[in-house]
Amino acid sequence: MSADDEVMIDSQEVEVAVEATSSGQMSVEEALQEVLRRALIHDGLARGLKQAVKALDRRQAHLAVLCESCTESEYIKLIEALCTEHKINLIKVSDAKKLGEWAGLCKIDREGNARKVVGCSCVAVTDFGEESEAMNVLLDYFKTN
């Protein structure tokens, strides 16, 4: 009997794992990465302070991404102020290198790994590209927060 009980427990764990992956819910970070990748393909990213501020000030940006590890307080205040003034969604990312990789500021080697990643403190999305599940996840995140 104990051998059968162990089998039942194992099969139940597998079913739970399958249900979790089949629901298709992606995290906000994964959704952001996907949205930035699609925006990069459609030439809808403003990378760096100068381009991002231009896009935010002209109200062309739909979304702004700011790095939390930025050392310049004026930089952070400027981006946050423009986003609140023009009612543009702002999301913060922990690592500048990660944001730079997502924004395409790197070289990709033959294996598909990112090399020579340049850190990026701010990115503004001016064109989402085609509508996707990742974009809907981000928009739902902004509605709830």
Please say if the pLDDT value at position 13 is more than 60: no
Please give the average per-residue pLDDT across 7-18, as a whole number: 38
Please say if the pLDDT value at position 18 is more than 60: no
Please say if the pLDDT value at position 74 is more than 80: yes
The number of C-alpha atoms within 13 Å of 94 and in the hemisphere containing its C-beta is 1
Residue type for 101, please?
A: E
Confidence label for 127 from pLDDT (cuts 50, 70 and 90) = confident
Please give the average per-residue pLDDT across 59-81, as a whole number: 85
Q: Which two tokens stand for residue 69?
A: 């590890």
Q: What was the pLDDT predicted at 10?
A: 40
Q: What was the pLDDT predicted at 14?
A: 36
The chain-wide mean pLDDT, for the chain, equals 75
Please report, in angstroms and rounded to a whole number, the separation of the first and last CA atoms in the chain: 50
Q: What was the pLDDT predicted at 136?
A: 80
